[in-house]
C-alpha cells in the first residue's frame, strides 16, 4: 500500500510550476578563473532561486505496455484507485490527469494510444489503467519518442493551454532512434522522429517552460536492459531493418536517453528495481517536482584539491512558496584554499548545481596560483592576429605565434603582470588589441623549454572578459576584469 505520508503530502499542497523558466542560478564572483595564492582562502557563492506554485497543471501518465512489463503493470493496476485519488482529489488545485500507453512500430497496429485526455474523472482514469495488458513490442527498443512527440504536439491530447504540462513516463527498454519517417507518415514518408526532435517538441509545448518529463526506468527486462530506459537502443532493433525493396531508416541512437530528456526538460530520471515501487515512485517524484525540491552541489575531481568546504552540502525537501509570483532563494558557499606551491599551479573543472538529482546549472571554473609563478617572459601586443598561426622554428608543433606584434614585444614578469590604467578617453572604446605571452626556460623545463599561451582578443569598453583563441602549449592567458573605459587592463599569464 502507498505510504500515507506521501499521499497526504501530494494531496494537501498546491502543485508547482515544475522546471519553470524562472529558475535561476547566479555566481559570485562570476569569473572564468580565480586567483588562489598558496595558503589563501576565497569563496564562490552560487545563489539558486526556484519559482513558487501555480494552481493549474495537467499530468499525463505514459506507460510502456510491451510484453516484459507485466509485473510493473500489475502493480500499477493494483494501486490505481489510490494513485488516481491522490492526484485528482487535491483540494484547492485545478489539476487534471491523462493516461496513455505505447508499444512499437511496425509490430503493433497502434504503437501509441491516447486513452484518456486530461480529466478529473477518476473512474475513467482507473478504468483506462485497468485495461493495460502486457504484449507486443516485437524487438527490444520501443516507440516512446513517437509517443512523447505526439503528446507534445497533437491537439487531440487535450492539454489546457494555460496549464503546466507534466509527463510521467515509465518503461523498461530504450527507444528507437529514429522513428522511421514511413511509420510516422502511415506509409507515406514524412519526417523521422529522433531524440532531438522529440526533445524540442517537449520543450516547446505549452506554458511555463514546456513539458516537464519524469522518466522512471523499470528493470523488468533486467537480462536484456539492465539500464532500462537508459540502455543501448541498438541492442535489439531487428524490426527496424527494411525488407528488400523498402527504404525505412537506419537504426541509431545512444545510451542515456531518459537522463538526457529529463535534463533537457528539467525533470527527473530515476530507476526502480522492484515492480512494487512503481506507484510510490510516481507519487514521490511528482512531489519532488511539484511540491518541494532537492538541491545538491557537485565539484569536478580536478578541482577537489582546492575545495576546503561546501556549505551546505545539500538542501533536502526545500519547500517552495504558495505564490507563483514569489521564489525561494538559497546559497551554496564553496570555500577554496590554495595548496602549497608545487608543480601544479592550477586546474579547470565544473561546479554544478543539481535539482532533484539532475544538473540545473554548470559553471566552468579555473583556479590558478599566480603567487607560485613569477618568471620573466615575453608579452606580445598587436592590432591583428596571425591567421593561420606561424609555427616557431625548432620547437614543439604546438608552439605557435598567434599575434602580429607590431605594437609591443616586451619582457615582463609572467604570473604577476602589471596592471595598466585605461584613461577616460571615449576614442579608446571599441579598440581591439591581441595579446599572447611566451616563456623560454630550458633550465627549469628541459623537456619543454618553450611555452606559449593562447591568444586573447581584448576590446576596450566591452563588459566581457575578452575572447580566447587557439590553445596554448603550457601557458594560459586571461583577463581578471573587463577592460572598461575608464578602467584597468588586468591580464594574467600562468602555467597550466
Say if residue 9's pLDDT is above 60.
no
The model's pLDDT over 472-483, given as tens digits with 9 standing for 90+, comes to 898 889 888 899
Residue 243 neighbours by CB under 8 Å, 6+ apart: none
Strand partners, 9: none
Residue 484 neighbours by CB under 8 Å, 6+ apart: 422, 460, 461, 463
The pLDDT of residue 240: 87
Please classify residue 71 by burial: count the beta carbons closer than 10 Å to its beta carbon, then call 0-12 exposed, 13-18 middle and 19+ buried.
middle
Q: pLDDT class for 340, splitting at 50, 70, 90?
A: confident
The pLDDT of residue 6: 43
Handedness of CA 397, 403, 408, 412 (dihedral sign): negative
For residue 417, count other CB atoms closer than 10 A to its CB. Answer: 21
Strand residue runs (E) in 103-163: 112-119
Residue 204 neighbours by CB under 8 Å, 6+ apart: 152, 210
Q: Which three cell numbers stand for residue 193?
A: 522522429
As a whole number, mean pLDDT of residues 4-20 equals 38
The model's pLDDT over 346-382, given as tens digits with 9 standing for 90+, comes to 789 999 999 877 788 999 999 887 667 778 999 999 9
Own/partner contacts of 313-320, CB < 8 Å, gap of 24 or more, are: 317/292, 317/293, 318/50, 318/292, 318/293, 318/294, 319/291, 319/292, 320/16, 320/50, 320/51, 320/52, 320/53, 320/291, 320/292, 320/293
The model's pLDDT over 126-152, given as tens digits with 9 standing for 90+, comes to 999 999 999 999 999 999 999 999 999
The Cα–Cα gap between 29 and 348 comes to: 16
The pLDDT of residue 8: 41
421 DSSP assignment: E
The pLDDT of residue 154: 97
Q: Of how many residues is the chain composed? A: 496
Instruction: Decide if 333 contacts 43 (C-beta within 8 A).
Output: yes
Say if residue 195's pLDDT is above 90.
yes
End-to-end CA gap in the chain: 57
Q: pTM score, two decimals? A: 0.61
The pLDDT of residue 188: 85
The model's pLDDT over 425-457, given as tens digits with 9 standing for 90+, comes to 999 999 999 999 999 988 888 888 999 999 999
The pLDDT of residue 36: 84
Instruction: For the chain, list the domains and their CATH numbers.
Output: 24-51+293-369 (2.60.40.10), 56-290 (3.40.50.410), 373-495 (no CATH)
Q: Which residue has the higher pLDDT, 145 or 317?
A: 145
Q: Among the listed ranges 107-111, 196-200, 368-372, which one has the minimum average pLDDT value?
A: 368-372
As a whole number, mean pLDDT of residues 448-468 equals 94
Give whichever of 9-13, 145-149, 241-245, 406-410 has the largest mean pLDDT. 145-149
Amino acid at each position: 500500500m502507498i505510504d500515507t505520508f506521501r499521499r497526504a503530502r501530494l494531496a494537501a499542497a498546491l502543485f508547482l510550476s515544475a522546471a519553470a523558466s524562472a529558475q535561476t542560478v547566479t555566481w559570485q564572483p562570476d569569473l572564468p578563473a580565480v586567483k588562489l595564492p598558496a595558503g589563501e582562502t576565497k569563496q564562490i557563492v552560487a545563489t539558486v532561486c526556484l519559482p513558487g506554485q501555480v494552481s493549474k497543471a495537467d499530468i499525463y501518465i505514459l506507460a510502456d505496455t510491451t510484453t516484459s512489463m507485466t509485473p510493473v503493470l500489475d502493480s500499477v493496476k493494483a494501486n490505481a484507485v489510490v494513485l488516481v485519488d491522490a492526484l485528482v482529489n487535491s483540494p484547492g488545485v485545478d489539476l487534471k490527469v491523462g493516461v496513455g500507453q505505447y508499444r512499437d512500430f511496425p509490430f503493433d497496429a497502434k504503437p501509441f494510444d491516447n486513452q484518456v485526455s486530461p480529466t478529473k474523472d477518476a473512474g475513467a482514469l482507473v478504468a483506462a489503467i485497468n485495461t493495460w495488458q502486457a504484449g507486443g513490442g516485437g524487438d527490444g527498443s520501443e516507440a516512446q519518442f513517437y509517443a512523447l512527440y505526439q503528446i507534445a504536439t497533437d491537439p487531440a491530447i487535450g492539454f489546457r493551454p494555460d496549464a503546466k504540462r507534466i509527463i510521467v513516463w515509465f518503461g523498461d527498454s530504450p527507444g528507437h532512434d529514429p522513428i522511421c519517417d514511413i511509420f510516422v507518415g502511415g506509409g507515406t514518408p514524412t519526417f523521422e522522429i529522433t531524440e532531438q526532435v522529440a526533445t524540442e517538441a517537449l520543450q516547446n509545448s505549452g506554458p511555463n517552460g514546456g513539458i516537464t518529463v519524469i522518466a522512471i526506468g523499470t528493470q523488468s527486462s533486467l537480462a536484456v536492459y539492465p539500464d532500462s530506459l537508459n540502455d543501448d537502443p541498438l541492442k535489439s532493433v531487428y524490426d527496424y531493418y527494411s525488407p528488400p525493396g523498402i527504404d525505412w531508416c537506419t537504426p541509431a541512437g545512444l545510451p542515456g536517453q531518459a537522463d538526457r530528456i529529463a535534463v533537457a526538460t528539467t525533470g527527473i530520471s530515476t530507476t526502480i528495481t522492484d515492480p512494487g515501487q512503481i506507484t510510490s515512485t510516481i507519487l514521490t517524484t511528482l512531489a519532488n517536482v511539484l511540491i518541494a525540491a532537492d538541491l545538491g552541489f557537485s565539484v569536478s575531481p580536478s578541482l577537489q584539491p582546492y575545495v576546503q568546504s561546501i556549505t551546505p552540502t545539500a538542501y533536502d525537501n526545500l519547500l517552495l512558496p504558495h505564490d507563483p509570483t514569489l521564489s525561494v532563494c538559497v546559497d551554496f558557499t564553496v570555500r577554496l584554499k590554495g595548496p602549497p606551491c608545487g608543480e601544479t599551479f592550477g586546474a579547470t573543472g565544473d561546479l554544478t548545481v543539481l535539482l532533484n538529482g539532475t544538473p540545473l546549472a554548470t559553471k566552468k571554473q579555473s583556479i590558478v596560483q599566480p603567487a607560485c609563478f613569477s618568471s620573466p617572459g615575453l608579452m606580445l601586443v598587436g592590432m591583428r592576429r596571425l591567421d593561420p598561426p606561424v609555427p616557431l622554428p625548432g620547437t614543439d608543433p604546438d608552439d605557435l605565434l598567434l599575434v602580429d606584434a607590431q605594437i609591443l614585444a616586451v619582457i615582463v614578469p609572467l604570473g604577476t603582470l602589471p596592471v595598466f590604467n585605461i584613461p577616460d578617453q571615449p576614442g579608446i572604446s571599441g579598440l581591439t588589441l591581441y595579446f599572447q605571452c611566451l616563456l623560454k626556460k630550458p633550465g627549469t623545463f628541459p623537456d619543454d623549454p618553450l611555452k606559449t599561451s593562447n591568444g586573447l582578443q581584448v576590446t576596450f569598453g566591452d563588459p566581457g572578459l575578452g575572447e580566447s583563441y587557439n590553445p596554448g602549449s603550457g601557458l594560459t592567458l586571461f583577463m581578471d576584469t573587463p577592460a572598461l573605459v575608464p578602467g584597468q587592463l588586468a591580464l594574467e599569464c600562468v602555467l597550466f
